[in-house]
Amino acid sequence: MKKLFPILMVLVIVSTACQLGSSGAEPTPIPIATAFPTPTAVPLNPTAAPANQATEAGSERISPVDGMVQVFVPEGSFRMGGLDVKAENDEKPDHQVSMHGFWIDKLEVTNAMYMLCVQAGACEPPDHFKSETREKYFNTTDFADYPVVYVTWGDADAYCQWAGKRLPTEAEWEYAARGTDFRTFPWGDERPDTSRANFNRKVRDVTRVGSFPAGASPYGVLDMAGNVWEWVSDFYDPNYYSMATGANPTGPLTALGVHTQRRVIRGGSYQDVEVDIRVSNRGYASGPNPDAADMDSAEYHGESSPKIGFRCAADN
């Protein structure tokens, strides 16, 4: 396998171009190898200190596999669920949850990071290489540090495992976004604007990760409101909060009813209005269905979208 990515990662760091509409230049395609090697198993963050050691809230480290900055969220408790007048039924009842300490990616996983996993043979390419308004998006240097989209829940799960991490639980995601107070948005209770989030089609497509530092969560995690929805590990059940456990909840064992493969998505996207980018808002999309008859079908692999991406978490 040709080692393409040391060059690509440099381009990610030094690139200053490619805000939406900033250039009419044709994006430079990145070739994807047609044959992938057998992936090598990656141990869970082998260089990291255990999360239960004395680690300050908001401490940062670099993930040794994909180069992602991770932020430490300490042990504690918070009020989970809808606490404002716009809370929807599936956000109720609000309830107290005790959490262990964990690490979470500071940013959404980028095209360049996901390409590393594709080249390693551990991830499938996205279902489409475009975004909503860009025909050439995934395999270009111009958008290397933008969030990967058109990935299924299974794709996101495979990536996090390859990177020595995992998808965050829904409770971990909300705790990292809200902290220990009762805020409505990651930055507080002030209404969102274009300095804090990419939402309500004000940009019409995804933006470079980390573009809204004013929208940081209490722990310094970015892009938790708008830009792209983010897969989390939990199955979706609209009534789960009425029966959820009070310590480190991991979601129901399966979704209920006819949509048994629904998985939770969090954070809202560039398409969504103010009410949908609140920290407590819950969305869902179809995850993989291993019982589907056609292994080439969308039902088998699960749903993907130009407005869904993800980030990873880790215990140590």
Mean of the per-residue pLDDT values of the chain: 86
Q: How many Å is the Cα radius of gyration of the chain?
A: 19
Q: 């940081």: which residue's tokens? A: 216
Residue 297 tokens read as 């079908």
Phi, psi of 313 (to 5 degrees): -140, 170
Residue 212 and residue 221: Cα distance in Å, rounded?
Answer: 11
* Mean pLDDT of the region 246-254: 92
Asked if residue 1 has pLDDT above 50, the reply is no
The Cβ of residue 195 has, within 10 Å, a number of other Cβ atoms equal to 10
Residue 226 tokens read as 């708008």
Residue 130 and residue 109: Cα distance in Å, rounded?
Answer: 16
pLDDT for the residue 181 = 96
102-142 per-position pLDDT tens digit:
999 999 999 999 999 999 999 999 999 999 999 999 999 99
194-212 per-position pLDDT tens digit:
999 999 999 999 999 999 9
Residue 264 and residue 99: Cα distance in Å, rounded?
Answer: 19
Sequential DSSP letters for 49-68: PPTTSS--TT-EEE-TTT--
54-88 per-position pLDDT tens digit:
589 999 999 999 999 999 999 999 999 999 999 99
Output the pTM of the full model. Answer: 0.85
More confident site: 249 or 298: 249
142-192 per-position pLDDT tens digit:
999 999 999 999 999 999 999 999 999 999 999 999 999 999 999 999 999
Residue 308 and residue 144: Cα distance in Å, rounded?
Answer: 17
Instruction: Report all structural domains of the chain as residue ranges with CATH numbers, in order of start.
Output: 1-20+56-316 (3.90.1580.10)
Whether the upstream peptide bond of residue 93 has omega within 30° of 0, thus cis, is: yes
